[in-house]
Structure 1
Amino acid sequence: MKKTHHHDVLVVGSGAAGMTVALQLADKYRIALLSKSALKSGSTWYAQGGIAAVFDNEDSIESHVQDTLIAGAGLCHEDTVRYTVEQGPEAIRWLVQQGVKFTLNSDNDDYHLTQEGGHSHRRILHTADATGREVSSSLADQVLQHPSIDVYEDHTVVDLITQADSNSSRVRCTGAYVLDDGNDCVCVFQAKVVVLATGGASKAYLYTTNPDGASGDGIAVAWRRGCRVANMEFNQFHPTCLYHPSAKAFLITEALRGEGAQLKLPNGERFMDKFHPSGELAPRDIVARAIDHEMKRLGSDCLFLDISHRSEEFLESHFPTIKAKCLSYGIDITREPIPVVPAAHYTCGGIMVNKSGQTDLWNLYAIGETAFTGLHGANRMASNSLVECVVYGQAAAQAIRDSIENIDEPEPARAWDESRVTHSDEDVVISHNWDELRRFMWDYVGIVRTRKRLERAHHRVKLLQKEIQEYYTNYKISRDLLELRNLVLVADLIIRSAEQRTESRGLHYTLDYPKTSDIAKDTIMVPINFAAQNVIVRKN
């Protein structure tokens, strides 16, 4: 079995961002694409709603920019927003070239566009209600057919490898230690350039719409190697996740509300008009907080989303996945409302990068949900995430093409040493710690926060970190242990960032500081081993 792998570019993560950068570079360079489980298992696969881009003649780039800035509650970086929105239509055209088939209007060949919360126009391209599946499948087909892309499924990043750069005083990234689950060993992957596209960290919460792999791996490994992170306190809670004892992390897309679905109390009364003039189409943070407020006020386990007033033919053509999934749990959406609760959905903060996705660590890039570009501000607007994946995947690929020829081959890295660890007979510790972490994050660092709740979370996360690090040091590693180690680190960053923000803004709402400050400022966390000597990332 091969313990060391050599490529030009190592891409960690197989969602839309990772596959985009791999495909953009593969015609000239040898690519290793790591997937924590199956190639089509990341968050992209589960995205239902769609991709936001301007294709309607009555819409405009400026309108999309302004909608995003408003949703971001004053913390979006306008230059990043404008760049992403301007590149959006070209990103869509590239996806179509890769085989993505978006839903068209029945009476012409134009794209069928839906509207979601925060958007002032219909600008959401979609493939029925399974857009992510279509994007993921199409890109995966291209990846698997490409002779220059080596796909490694069931491979989990452990830590990054760094070396001194012979051409400067900088430290550079030259690869990663990676757990090969199938062969139960740790391999060395070396490359001139490493790209982190590992997604977010919503598995830190008890209730989430994300797949099991969303454990903040990229953020954690980058932080441990000296990269700054920003705005980790802004965790987006999707307002409508299916509430059913047998349903695991099934999202009810915002597009339902765009097509007239109404949020209702258990007695059938609508309530969103009391919280925002846009009602059900208010930004996600407002809708999630409203549902949370009403659930707590009434002592209700869930609320309801009702689209039964639309025809069965309309629901079958527009939302076949949701209709079938709900029906499998005995819920007929053509006749009755859907029970819903908010759930952790998206990590708006992440690894600080510039417009090319370059991090503070030389030759290390971060793209997609794991990165902080400044696009989402204090609240991500619906369907802006997938377009960001493609736009920044393309930008990172261009920056890599411009620089890789001048990068020396890395020096051979040391093999992974596990000579002093043993197999654990107490893996139950991992599951217990995982459960404790997710429960106190939900209770204390959720939709509504207080100083006291954050203090409690801070105390408990420190105890968990100590216990998990001791376990990691003494026992043979597993994927579950690596994910827990990364999640507890990212949870600590979330808590510390939330404690620093003494205001309520966007997704961060605290009863101790209910007002929004006149000064909008990013929360930047700097590790002790800060990698950059000449900071290449724009300061706020």
Structure 2
Amino acid sequence: MGSGVAGLSAAIEASKHCSVLVVTKDKIDENNTVYAQGGIAVVLSAGDTIVKHIKDTLDAGQGLCDKAAVKTVVSEGPKRVHELIEWGAAFDKEDDRLIFTQEGGHSFPRIIRAQGDSTGREVEHALIRLVKEYKNITVLEHTFATDLITRDGICHGAIVWHAKKGTTLIWAKRTILATGGCGQVYRETTNPDVATGDGLAMAYRAGAVLQDMEFVQFHPTTLYIAGAVRFLITETVRGEGGILRNKRGERFMPRYHQQAELAPRDVVSQSILKEMQKTDHTNVYIDVRHIPRERLYTRFPKIKEICDSFGIDIAKDLIPVRPSAHYMIGGIKTDQFSRTTVRQLYACGEAACTGMHGANRLGSNSLLEGLVTGYTAGKDACESIQKSVRKLVPYTIRESMGLSKISWLDLNDIRNSLKSLMWRDAGIERDERHLLEAEEMIEMWGSYVMDKEFSNPTGWELQNMILVSSLIVSSALKRKESRGVHHRTDYPETDNIRWKKHITWVL
């Protein structure tokens, strides 16, 4: 389930010996991967080493990374990227050599990109082309997965819904969740509409362990124009020399961190928020006017195009930006084989919590993790099927009608209220009073939404968003310290004695 970099990587690897069905709730290329401007962090350049990349990842994770998971992803990354290039993915080159750029938290230029700021789209379309060539991979688009089919702690497939075909039971020997994150639970987000945390909610209801749900990463810089869709201004803009300025035109990042604009994302996001509060302004600005025009237009064609549409010439004008919810670091707990705690159920990509990112994801590590964990999930799922003697035997499912009938509810109003509440009370800065307020409000909305039986994705998505939001808020309330992307103003220090550990949830 899911058709981003992790889902398609899993499908391709599993299809070598098994038949594969890919289920995606929208069209195959509508997912977070396609919108990923940033590149892939991978050790391919002279002078860079696996050890350096591992250290940078561990430093960003602030004590909560799984070192074995980090080593596996970083070490396997070059193989998977070479494979991707063989499949036709074209990354930016100069004199027939890959171009490497540097982002915040990285000690070395190791980020490869495609078409300047369209890396995700290039990766996704390369994978889609390959998927279409495999006769034993079937793709169901515009198909919403409502729940997993489980019995005795074993997953046997999923229940899905299509507008024309209705509800269908899909029986599977192995099920892989690659459903992405949950950025849509926040009002300000870089995520597309499909990112409503459906896989996280399904896994939780099926009895899988979820971990690190308090760690939601906020991207420091998204284009901020009132009324416009939030558009990501990739971190590489700062890597190329972009300077952050407040409304008075002052450069402020050197006051907050020695790496200034190249500080880790959590530091930059929190610093921008402080400047907005100090100057009583809705945003700050990125200044790239000192970078040669030709280089700007060549490196960031998509950003240029979007800014042009709002009358902003990036070579002459400041770009208004502010932070937005970007990436779910936590998720469905998995082991080194991408297995969840529910038998025959796997998770990979942003939906999974592999331990790779700890308390703060290092920039451009997500596409890398998606490639590696997707490959791992597909490989292990396929191999375990070949070793198993157990046959796939569908069983009778009785429909339960215990849910309440739908009373009059304005689902869009509840959804918008939830998103505003999460942004206000469980956003970049958190404290006990606001988190308790959020917990109370979410519980109230849940009391008249969660027991209703809906017949379309609008209601199902809202139920999933309420469940995921509840887990985020409860986790944030429980972790009484500040670490990585989790910043408690009432507990501003990192507490390694009591909180250098993970928070897990299971139904």
Which TM bucket (shorter chain)? over 0.9
User: Is 2:96 the partner of 1:109?
Assistant: yes
Name the structure 1 match of 2:126.
138
SS at match of 2:173: strand
Name the structure 1 match of 2:309.
328
The 8 Å contact of residues 192 and 407 in structure 1, kept in 2 or not, is answered as no
Distance across 2 between alignment mates of 1:160 and 1:421:
18
Name the structure 2 match of 1:360.
341
1:121 to 103, 108, 113: 108
User: Is 2:39 the partner of 1:47?
Assistant: no
Provide structure 2 residue ranges, at least 5 long, that are not aligned to the other structure.
Answer: none
The 8 Å contact of residues 501 and 523 in structure 1, kept in 2 or not, is answered as no
What residue identity is the alignment partner of 2:159?
Y
Provide structure 1 residue ranges, at least 5 long, that are not aligned to the other structure.
Answer: 1-11, 165-170, 529-540
Map of 1:246-285 to 2, 5 A cutoff?
Answer: 246-285=227-266
Name the structure 1 match of 2:158.
176
The 8 Å contact of residues 18 and 382 in structure 2, kept in 1 or not, is answered as no
RMSD: 1.6
Greater CA drift, 380-389 or 496-505: 496-505
User: Is 2:486 the partner of 1:521?
Assistant: no
Name the structure 2 match of 1:3.
none
2:283 to 302, 310, 328: 302
Q: Report sequence identity in percent.
A: 40
Name the structure 1 match of 2:440.
459
Aligned-pair CA distance for 1:409: 3.0
Name the structure 2 match of 1:188.
169
Distance across 1 between alignment mates of 2:248 and 2:393:
67
Map of 1:84-483 to 2, 5 A cutoff?
Answer: 84-105=73-94, 108-127=95-114, 128-164=116-152, 171-183=153-165, 185-405=166-386, 406=388, 408-414=390-396, 417=399, 426=408, 429-471=410-452, 473=453, 476-483=454-461
Q: 1:116 to 1:315 in 2, by over 3 A?
A: same
Aligned-pair CA distance for 1:423: 9.2
User: Is 2:469 the partner of 1:491?
Assistant: yes
Given the two structures, how large is their TM-score scaled by the length of structure 1?
0.91
2:59 to 45, 65, 70: 70
Greater CA drift, 301-310 or 251-260: 301-310
What residue identity is the alignment partner of 1:152?
L
Greater CA drift, 240-249 or 276-285: 240-249
Distance across 2 between alignment mates of 1:457 and 1:407:
49
Distance across 1 between alignment mates of 2:391 and 2:429:
49
Greater CA drift, 462-471 or 12-21: 462-471
Name the structure 2 match of 1:26.
15
Aligned-pair CA distance for 1:481: 1.1
Distance across 1 between alignment mates of 2:107 and 2:341:
36
Distance across 2 between alignment mates of 1:409 and 1:246:
54
Given the two structures, how large is their TM-score scaled by the length of structure 2?
0.96
SS at match of 2:172: strand
SS at match of 2:98: coil
SS at match of 2:21: strand
Aligned-pair CA distance for 1:408: 2.4
Q: 1:416 to 1:332 in 2, by over 3 A?
A: farther
The 8 Å contact of residues 156 and 181 in structure 1, kept in 2 or not, is answered as no
SS at match of 1:344: strand
In the comparison of the two structures, how many residue pairs are matched? Answer: 504
Distance across 2 between alignment mates of 1:289 and 1:71:
15
1:502 to 477, 480, 496: 480
Aligned-pair CA distance for 1:420: 8.6
Aligned-pair CA distance for 1:518: 2.3
Distance across 2 between alignment mates of 1:53 and 1:515:
32
1:171-216: per-residue Cα shift (whole Å, max 9, x none)?
2100100111344x11111110000000011111000000011111
Greater CA drift, 413-422 or 48-57: 413-422
SS at match of 1:46: coil
Aligned-pair CA distance for 1:94: 1.2
Aligned-pair CA distance for 1:138: 1.0
SS at match of 1:147: coil
Distance across 1 between alignment mates of 2:343 and 2:352:
15
The 8 Å contact of residues 404 and 451 in structure 2, kept in 1 or not, is answered as no
Name the structure 2 match of 1:536.
none
